[in-house]
Structures are given as C-alpha cells and as structure tokens.
Amino acid sequence: MNRNSPFSYVCNACGRCCHDKVITLSPYDVLRIARTRRITTAEAIARYTIRRGSILKFTDHGACIALEGVRCGMHRGRPLACRLYPLGIERIDDSSDEQFVKLEPATGSLSVYGDQAAVEDFLAEQQVAPHLDANARYGSLLPKFRERIDAIVDFDLVEPREFRRRAIREALAESGYDPNAIIDAIFDSDSVGCARDDDAATVSAHLAVLSTMICDERYPETLAAAAVLLAVSLGYSPSEAMR
C-alpha cells in the first residue's frame, strides 16, 4: 500500500489494540511522551519504557502502561506505532521510501475497517507527519555512524559478520548490557542539554549533540551497538546500521 491506496479506519475506543503488543519507540516518541506528561525524558524512560527507552512498557497483565481503563492516558503524545495502527510502515533501507501494510485487527476489536478514503487521509487525521519528519532527521545519523565505524575499524583484521552479530546482541539486550553513553543520549535528550521551547528545536539540538558524540567516540563496539538500536527504533533492520 502507498499513500494513495484506499483505506479507512474508525476506532471505537475498545482498548483491545493496547494489549499484548511490542511497541518500538523512536527518540522522538520518547520526547513526545515526556512533553505530554510534563516530565523529563529520563523520567519518561524510567516510567514508560524498557530496553533503555526503545520499547513501550506493558504491565504483567499485558496492558500498555499508559492505558487508563480503555483510554490512552497520553493520547496526545502517543507513539508513531500507535498513531499508525492498524497500519505499519515497511522500509527497505534508510531512504525516505515507504510502504504501508494493513495489520490484522486485535482479537475482539470493535473498530471498523474500510476503503472510503485513502491512506494519506488517515495519516493526516492521526497527525503522523511530525513523527515521520523527526524520524527522517534521526535517520540522517546512520550514515555518520557507518562512516565513523569504517574510519576506526580495520575490517581486514576484524571479521565483519561477527562484529555485526556482537553489536546486534548488545543493542537488543534487555539486561546485562554494557554502559553506552550514546544510547543513553539517543533516548534521553534532556540529559544532554537539548531541551528547547519547541520539539523541532529540541530535535535540532539533539542531532547536533549526537553528531558530536559519534565523531568523538573511539570505541567501535559502542558506536555499533548505538547505531543498531537507533536503526531499529526508527523502523529499519539492524543491518542498516552497518553495511
């Protein structure tokens, strides 16, 4: 499906889609959660996420941590994946190309699917543009990661596939991972002094700080793990972090 494909969706607020999911968060998602709840990004990470800020937390009973009855307690700041539902984005590489897929409805869902409008209309209703724009801006860091890794790693001496495997394992670990200041900074923009009066300015400041951290980092393992987690958080495959 593309933006012109026929698609419509009417949510009846049954709350069924807010259970038993894995919702990946981008840096911008974490920022929006924090601003909506009027807390810092560090507090948002601690309260609403797992895996260092990259996944939305769910309760032991399978409900989203933000769910209040059948309503989202942070609806204005809900993540991109929640705004898109029941659509998903497919990306082949870190370009701006996008394809959409229609997801299966949650079991017992009361919502209504149809084709009375187009994907573009649904995206506008859900106000996804700022999220997509911000994600594209964060995606511009992926080539910087690759350039820095290539500059400091001699892949004639280091086996590339094993290097990538180690990076993916480290990035996606939910416990027992090594400290990584770049990963911390990716999801916690406030802690590196990037809070501004509006989201766009915050993202600009954040990108500048992250770019400097990437250029200054001397340990390839730190760079590789951070690159993988950023790529995954933006909806790309881990392989996009290192080619």
Alpha-carbon gap, residue 224 to 242, rounded angstroms: 7
The answer to the question of residue 150 being in a domain is yes
pLDDT attached to residue 28: 98
Q: Are residues 158 and 86 in the same domain?
A: no
pTM of the model: 0.94
Clarify whether residues 64 and 120 are in a common domain: yes
Give the β-pairing of 99-102 and 87-90. Answer: antiparallel
Q: Are residues 27 and 107 located together in one domain of the fold? A: yes
Per-residue pLDDT of the chain (243 residues; tens, 9 = 90+): 899 999 999 888 888 889 999 999 999 999 999 999 999 999 999 999 999 999 999 999 999 999 998 889 999 999 999 999 999 988 766 555 688 999 888 878 888 888 889 999 999 999 999 999 999 999 999 999 999 999 999 999 999 999 999 999 999 999 999 999 999 999 999 999 999 999 999 999 999 999 999 999 999 999 999 999 999 999 999 988 887
Residue 183 domain-assigned?
yes
Q: Which domain holds residue 199?
A: 137-241
Give the pLDDT of residue 42. 98
Pairing verdict, β 71-72 and 87-90: unpaired
Given 105, 128, 151, the domain boundary residue is 128
What is the model's pLDDT at position 34? Answer: 97
H/E stretch holding 21: none
